[in-house]
Structure 1
């Protein structure tokens, strides 16, 4: 079965190029040019991945992203932005976007990022109640639901992916470069501080409300998930 993608882009020429390229790659593609029209479409249809322009009529891309995440739709979201400001990227990521591409973009790079996002968990989910656990932290992978001491953690998609990678490698010191490559899926050359930002976000939810800290800093190297009581 083809993976279904929704492209929300108000520039019709760009939208048409995206549609042709994505369909050539074998995806089932729907195109919408207005944010509000896209929101109505999303409520009636399921998609494996969303591609949202940041500036849209009707609803902005960021507001559309907020609504998608508010409805607990876990399909990956790739943001398109004409602005190369860090604040715009961070805002999108903080609201639940999984990745972003700045216009004008290279089509091969865009296609590669889409493949990474779909592999990471937006495509087909495995059957069953697969879980990961570490100390009192448990993650239900099919549901993308994380808990600590039985309390649900309200994580953004990026925070969730970061937690998963740390839990897959407990007691292993992971460098910022490793985390960028495995969690973000591509190289943020010169911007490794994004890892520090999201580790801080994760700690606020995973560690701060509880008695023990699991995400430890290894100065000059990176981070490690370990139980400080052990």
Structure 2
């Protein structure tokens, strides 16, 4: 009489077939991070329509650029009529070099997890409705050259920790509601006063050798 039980090899083959045949959410960390971002956002013009989480990686998605190893190195959603909060998942894009989210309607706080983007060269978040303080975690972005946060609703003081960013060439926090005094150490000795304009509670540069006093913070 033939046995009714399946051999281990046949069972393995069947399970392998199921795993290949069944679509599933991408196991790619970067794809998961971007899809999590998409679920938070309101996208009235379907700019993010190509962001399909069932793909192996997000390198075929519009507004996403990858390197030759399929790592996401650029996210460009500037002027896309997108609104909603940014999430901590963005901190998982560990190879990201350019974060371009300018001129939208992003709101809420800037995630401190963006400080995990150690390869970041440029961060453009200007022209949104972002609130809260500039994260001190940005001091970990040692490759950062361009940081533009102007034309938002940011409050609090400019973190002195950012003075350690020796590669920072452009810094713009104008047209917010920042307070305190302007740092003078490190790259801050080179930024023009226009970088800080239209912050009614922000006072002049710190005096050399004196403890900074945060007026009204």
Fold in common (TM above 0.5): no
> TM-score, normalising length from structure 1?
0.31
**Which of the pair has the greater relative contact order for Cα pairs under 8 Å at 6+ separation?**
1
Q: Larger Cα Rg: Structure 1 or Structure 2?
A: 2
> TM-score, normalising length from structure 2?
0.32
